[in-house]
Amino acid sequence: MSMRHLKIFHYHSMSLKVSGLLRPASRRARNNGSHLFAIANNFLRKCREAINEFKFLDRHAPTGGSRRRLWEASPTRLCEELRSEAIQSFLLKSTKRTQRAQSNLVKLTVLISSTFLCSSSFGDAPSRPQMSMGAQMSQGTDIRQGERLDKQAELSQQTQWIEAGEEPVSIQETLERTYMQNTALDAERANLRATDEGVSQANAAWRPSLSVQGQQNQTQTYPIGRPSRQQGIKAHGSTTTYTATLEQNIYDGGATEAQIGVAESNVLSERANLFIQEQNALFAGIEAHTSILANEAIVEYQKQNMDFFLKLWQRAEAYFEVGQGDRVDVEAARGQYEGGIGTLAQQIGTLENAKATYMQTVGSPPGKLAPANVILQLPKNYEEALEIAKTHNPEITQARYQLEAADYNVYLQAAELLPDVSVQGQVGNTRLGGDNGITSGPNEGKAIKRTDLAFNTIVNVPIYLQGIPNSKVRQAYQQMAQAKVNLVGAQRGVVQAVRTAWDNLIASREAVKGFLAQVKAQELAVEGGFEEVNVGTKTVIDVIQLQQQLIQAQIDLANAQATLVNSGYAVLQAMGRLTARDLRLNVRYYDPDAYYNEYKNAWIQFWQGKDWRYVKDGDQR
């Protein structure tokens, strides 16, 4: 290498294309990384020794020559020639030129030596942006390999969990935990059992009632003033009475039958509401599961994004130090890195909130969650889903039984206008003591005992009751009309729910396809943007914009994947198939008939010997 090549570096370092110096070396460095690094390191040491030894530099040879020879020179030869000629060039230069030469030669050494730092075992990552430009030139390749590395890391981590006995929690396990531990669902089961008692109370109107009444009276009489001979005697008496009354309803205008009908309809309506709450609880568990998965993916994307901008900042700063680029590129990359730190912190907070929601909904910590999927086959088309929903959706069932209860309520209110018949039997025992007993004869002073028997038939015929029963009948008719309208509204609501859920499912499928293609395209765009920066056709700002579009596409993809799973289960919910039995969860199924059958005809029972929260009625599958 002649002196004019060194002259080119001194006077034209601002216009040299870094890619020209680095590309040949980068290709060769894959096989000769360790050897070339030793050469570059030795070159840097020799340059520093020469600069300290000589204080004057000679005038350089006239400029000229071709830059192409410098670009195409082999790394080893380039290092050797630059080392020898640089030492000779320091002999006659001025002190001011010495400082400039020292800075430029050191920077050139960094450029050359960094090209050879391709060994995977070289050094540790610096805490401050100090990445070499040669390593930055291979950033596009690192980004392309990032997805494969992430998948390998995830697979390795899952293997470690399995080896440690901590398998990821599947979506089915989340559903099972929700079914057994959700507090809102458990409270609704208790509410159903309370509603069941209404039937027992209505049936009680046909049963006789028995009561016993006891009464004890004590009397004491004192004369006042100047009484006569008869009035001057004090008197004391006592009366003891025991009465047992038995009553039986014979006819109450049909009120008992109507009340039983209302109670049974309310029970059936509440059972439908229990299935609604079960579907809501299970769907909430699904949303909690997918929300954590989406937020975990977004956190990982944000970490990758922050690392990307950190490397971009290091690259821009390295370029700026050798005169390539400007401070705007450096600060723009730095700003994106600092902003990425804040965004990552916010996303981690969102992830923790999602875990707290999972804990509240499911009743246990999430741990590591497995990818979610729809565990029940979906219908082939919208029409099939709608037909199933019309017969199985619990909202329609609930509205029908509410209408039935309103119909029975009309008869219940009308019964007040009809006569009622009841029978009553009484048996009593009365004991009269003291002065109330026998006052003369051989049994004087003894108590009088008496037993009374009575049988009564009571017929009550209402004539005019201030118009109140008539108003209640009219009110009941309007309530029944309201229930009819509610039934129509429920049917329309189910059609809307199925239509919306099905359309969201189709849209979610297309969204996932689109965002997945967008992510792949943006990854290639970012990689290509780096290459164009190397040749000068794009700036760092352009790469930042491409990376921002990439991270947004990744976030959209994560959310779309969660929405796709949620949409599949939303279709099942609209069909009325999002229940533990339909999903075939491996749990103890709650039997709504068990408590009802146990107590609907109970005459006397106070204590419950079973835990009615979880009752299976046969096959657990």
The domain segmentation of the chain, as residue ranges, is: 3-119, 176-199+257-395+477-599, 208-221+233-251+419-461
Report the SS3 class of residue 578: coil
- Please answer whether residues 258 and 156 qualify as being in contact, where contact means their C-beta atoms are separated by less than 8 angstroms: no
Residues pairing with 421 in the sheet: 251, 459
For residue 22, what are the contacts with CB-CB under 8 A and spacing of at least 6?
Answer: 111, 115, 133, 134, 137
Q: Which amino acid is at 447?
A: A
The size of the chain, in residues, is 621
Question: Residue 375 gets which letter from DSSP?
Answer: -
pTM here? 0.68
Among 237-241, 304-308, 415-419, name the one with the lowest average pLDDT: 237-241
Among 205-219, 339-353, 364-378, name the one with the lowest average pLDDT: 205-219
Query: What band does 444 get if pLDDT is binned at 50, 70 and 90?
Result: low
- Please answer whether residues 426 and 452 qualify as being in contact, where contact means their C-beta atoms are separated by less than 8 angstroms: yes
Q: How far apart are CA 280 and CA 274, in angstroms?
A: 10
Average pLDDT over residues 26-39: 42
Query: What band does 85 get if pLDDT is binned at 50, 70 and 90?
Result: low
Helix ranges (H only) for 415-467 are none
- CATH number of the structural domain 176-199+257-395+477-599: 1.20.1600.10
Q: Give phi and psi for 564, each to the nearest 5.
A: -65, -45
Which of 431, 110, 404 is closest to 268 using CA atoms? Answer: 404
Q: Tell me how crowded residue 449 is: count the other CB atoms within 10 A of its CB.
A: 12
Query: What band does 83 get if pLDDT is binned at 50, 70 and 90?
Result: very low
Q: How far apart are CA 548 and CA 335, in angstroms?
A: 13
Query: What band does 387 get if pLDDT is binned at 50, 70 and 90?
Result: very high
pLDDT tens for 95-112 read 344 444 444 444 433 333
Q: Which long-range contacts (CB under 8 A, 24 or more apart) does 208-211 make?
A: 208/246, 208/247, 208/248, 209/246, 209/247, 209/248, 210/244, 210/245, 210/246, 210/247, 211/244, 211/245
280: pLDDT strictly greater than 90: yes
Among 54-63, 312-321, 600-609, name the one with the lowest average pLDDT: 54-63
**Whole-number average pLDDT of the chain:** 75
pLDDT tens for 113-157 read 333 323 232 223 333 333 333 333 333 333 334 444 344 444 444
The percent of residues above 70 in pLDDT, for the chain, comes to 66
Query: What band does 7 get if pLDDT is binned at 50, 70 and 90?
Result: very low
Instruction: Give the burial string for 142-166 (b: 16+ CB within 10 Å, else e).
Output: bbeeeeeeeeeeeeeeeeeeeeeee
Among 174-178, 277-281, 326-330, name the one with the lowest average pLDDT: 326-330
Ranges 206-220, 236-250, 487-501, most confident = 487-501
